[in-house]
Amino acid sequence: MKIQKFLTLARTEMKLSLRSFDMILFGILMPLAIVIVIGLIYGGERGAEAPGVLAQSFGAYLSIGICAVGLMGMPLTLADYRHKKVLKRLSVTPAHPGLLLGVQLFVQGLVALFSALLVVLAGFLFFGYRPAGSLPALVLAYFIVLLSIFSLGMIIASTAPDIKKAGLLCSIAYFPMLLFSGTTIPFHIFPGPVQKAAAVLPLSQGIKLLNGISLGEPLSAHLVRIAVLLGLAAVGAGISIKTFRWDME
């Protein structure tokens, strides 16, 4: 019964998300474009000594979709529902905030996952790139990063009083991470102090994890990082359910 409820809502939300072009552009086409451009510039071959640019930052390209969907798409969707009074209408039904957040997490998570699959496929088909590390470990790492970044987005989604503030908070979370975490500009080319400062961004840690795994490191080399990211996901989920706002007031 519960799962039926979840799937009915998820199906509707998925249809709605596919009907709007924003998410397809930022969540799916942009990461794909970046990996193709980087691949064309640097080529995809993985040198034995120094891994190629594509290989070195492959985790970063996987996470662009997570970032776009988790820090923009999902929180802005919920802020829009609050603005349009859709949440207010749901506040006088038995819907639990956790259900609404969970449905968004699931639906938007699928969009991010689809974007990651396209990135992997493009890397392989156009440039013959294959991650060196274990695939199950990479998948696991991917979901850990997805949950931790989405939990930040969920806090914004729950607490933003109106759509303008949601947009502002999303930009504050999204753009520094996009610029300084190594998604678009490789992390290692920043000067030392910038690297140190940017290292506190959760996405920086997520990308270090994904890059490490795709370069062949084992998960056990990243245990602290994994614990921090999972902790962030749990705290974010807790905060967003507790502080969920139905209406702007």
Interface residues toward other proteins, by CB under 8 A: 1, 4-5, 8-9, 12, 15-16, 19-20, 80-81, 84-86, 88-96, 246-247, 249
Residue 36 token pair: 């193709």
CA distance linking residue 12 with residue 19, whole number of Å? 11
Toward other proteins, which CB reaches closer, 84 or 196? 84
DSSP state of 161: -
Most distant CA atoms of the chain, gap in Å? 61
Least separation in angstroms between residue 249's CB and other proteins is: 7
Least separation in angstroms between residue 1's CB and other proteins is: 6
Toward other proteins, which CB reaches closer, 58 or 81? 81
Toward other proteins, which CB reaches closer, 60 or 103? 103
> Strand, coil or helix: what is 175?
helix
Least separation in angstroms between residue 12's CB and other proteins is: 5
Q: Please give the distance of CA 111 from its chain centroid, rounded to a whole number.
A: 10
Nearest to 9 by CA among 122, 80, 96: 96
Toward other proteins, which CB reaches closer, 11 or 196? 11
Least separation in angstroms between residue 3's CB and other proteins is: 11
CA distance linking residue 233 with residue 104, whole number of Å? 15
